[in-house]
Amino acid sequence: MAHREFKRKIYAEFARIGNALSSARRLELLDLLAQGPRHVEALATETDMSVANVSQHLQVLRQARLVEAEREGTKALYRLADKHVLDLWLTLRSVAEERLAGLGQLRRDVDVYDEESPVPRDELERLFLDRNAVLIDTRPSREYEHGHLPEAISMPMDELPNRLHELPRDRPIIAYCRGDYCLFADEAVALLREKGFEAHRLDGGWPEWWAEDRAVAGVSEG
């Protein structure tokens, strides 16, 4: 194979990944699948897309080998192909944060955004030891069951208002969710502070924690 032909073909292969990532809707699907496997119907509900549209986007991701699917009864269950795909998504996001100033402003424009400095992930263990903090996972329970931070209590945001009595008032509450651009934890912190709790948001969430090869609990293949 001639040098120029090799270059043309190899960059065309790289471009398959770039093309798969060129849709905002497909990036949202990858972000959701980073939380755990999902059926097409669940992805359609969460993204406000039709099942047919979600299926088309998933096929593009599948052709680029970024997601995999298996049959579960009459439905297809999708998941990220492997952890490298998670790393790719987080790296893309990190580059965007460095180069696109508008991202920070978009976050600040959200009413529930917690402007106080979030709790660094490296400090979480110390907080547990020094102050006996309580960690809550505000994602949907299925995501918690797929994998969560050690010691975290499942307390989905839609259940939190009716479960406040389960939380201690003499210890700090640290909330996390799907990552930096998920608002469940911000909403939880706002609600908890309104009700008189000391509450903080964890820096990042499940994907960032998992990508850093930190200890996790409950991780399954399905």
- Residue 221, pLDDT > 50, answer no
pLDDT digits 0-9 by tens, 143-177: 999 999 999 999 999 999 999 999 999 999 999 99
- Residue 109, pLDDT > 70, answer yes
Are residues 203 and 111 part of one domain?
A: yes
Annotated catalytic residue 182 = no
- Residues 44-63, mean pLDDT to the nearest whole number: 97
User: Percentage of the chain with pLDDT > 70?
Assistant: 95
Task: Say which of 58, 135, 177, 185 is annotated catalytic.
Answer: 177
Domain holding 64, by residue range, is 3-85
- Residues 27-34, mean pLDDT to the nearest whole number: 97
Per the structure, how many domains does the chain have? 2
The pTM of the whole model exceeds 0.85: yes
- The predicted structure's pLDDT at residue 1: 76
With a CB cutoff of 8 Å and minimum separation 6, the contacts of 200 are 114, 116, 118, 119, 172, 173, 174, 175, 189
CB count within 10 Å of CB 180 equals 19
pLDDT digits 0-9 by tens, 63-108: 999 999 999 888 999 999 999 999 999 999 999 989 998 887 787 7
- The predicted structure's pLDDT at residue 105: 78
**Rounded distance, CA 35 to CA 139, Å?**
9
How is residue 114 annotated by DSSP? -
CATH at 48 = 1.10.10.10
**Rounded distance, CA 222 to CA 33, Å?**
11
Higher per-residue confidence, 81 vs 131: 81
- Residue 111, pLDDT > 90, answer no
Higher per-residue confidence, 219 vs 169: 169
15-43 burial, b at 16+ Cβ within 10 Å, e below that, comes to eeeeebbeeeebbbbbbbbbbbbbbbebb
CATH at 151 = 3.40.250.10
98 lies in a domain?
A: no
**Rounded distance, CA 52 to CA 67, Å?**
17
